[in-house]
Amino acid sequence: MMTRPVLLLIPGALRKGSFNRLLLAEAARAFGEAEVIEADLDLPLYDGDLEEAGGVPDKVQALVAQIRGADAVVIGAPEYNKGISGVLKNALDWVSRVPDGAFRDKPVVVVSAAAGRTGGEAAQFMTLACLTPFQPRLMPGPMVLIADAMNAFDAEGRLRDETSRSLLAERMARLRAAVA
Ligand SMILES: Cc1cc2nc3c(=O)[nH]c(=O)nc-3n(C[C@H](O)[C@H](O)[C@H](O)COP(=O)(O)O)c2cc1C
């Protein structure tokens, strides 16, 4: 269909040096030619009073517009205490407040990088569970779990492990096929 699809990267961490951000950059390279956009989840905490007083904040509306405009989405889920990051959950909660489901039928892949030995597996499963109400098109493929994240990337931000690179490539090829 399209020659240059829009790929939205959603890092579930705010810090600049986030390993999940590095992993998303690797995912984008594996996805291939695309207009790559990165979401900013630095949003106010969801607060029903804030919403009632001023509606859904502009930054959330901008995020929703990015999701709507994307042909494919990759979420990088950090693991905090065996769960989804508050930053990511907060963003999902806000997005859910905007009618007409931005994620509905959207091709989505979740990947994770974490310090621990499981590579954020618990957070990744929890993210998939939290996405359920949004009814995205979760793309199948091998799970991408980057363990020992601080040693997993080289100085150029490339994944060192060949197996991880090939699993990511397979996953991204399937995402790419979904928008072709
Ligand atoms: C509050 C907190 C909780 C954490 N809990 C876990 C955990 O349950 N499992 C794990 O593998 N790493 C855990 N870590 C380490 C993170 O995996 C590590 O900080 C990682 O770099 C976070 O992702 P980021 O690099 O994308 O920011 C935790 C870190 C923080 C700050």
Q: Is residue 167 part of a domain?
A: yes
Select from 26, 74, 80 the residue to mutate for testing ligand 1; criterion: most ligand atoms less than 8 Å from CB: 80
Give pTM, 2 decimals: 0.98
Q: Is residue 58 part of a domain?
A: yes
For residue 137, the model assigns a pLDDT of 98
Segment 83-130, tens digit of pLDDT: 999 999 999 999 999 999 999 999 999 999 999 999 999 999 999 999
Range of the domain at 10: 6-179
CA of 25 to the centre of ligand 1 (A): 19
- For the domain that residue 39 is a member of, what is the CATH number? 3.40.50.360
62 C-beta neighbours (distance < 10 Å), count: 13
For residue 180, the model assigns a pLDDT of 81
Q: Is residue 107 part of a domain?
A: yes
Q: At what angle do helices 86-95 and 121-131 cross, to 10 degrees?
A: 10
Helical ranges in 45-148 per DSSP H: 48-54, 58-69, 86-95, 121-131
Q: Is residue 1 part of a domain?
A: no
Percentage helix, strand, coil for the chain under 3-state DSSP, each rounded to 5: 45, 20, 40
Residue 82 has pLDDT above 60, yes or no: yes
Domains identified in the chain, total number? 1
pLDDT band at 154; cut points 50, 70, 90: very high
Contact, 108 vs 71, CB < 8 A? no
Question: 108's torsion region: left (phi>0), alpha (psi -120 to 50) or beta?
Answer: beta
Segment 44-61, tens digit of pLDDT: 999 999 999 999 999 999
Segment 133-147, tens digit of pLDDT: 999 999 999 999 999
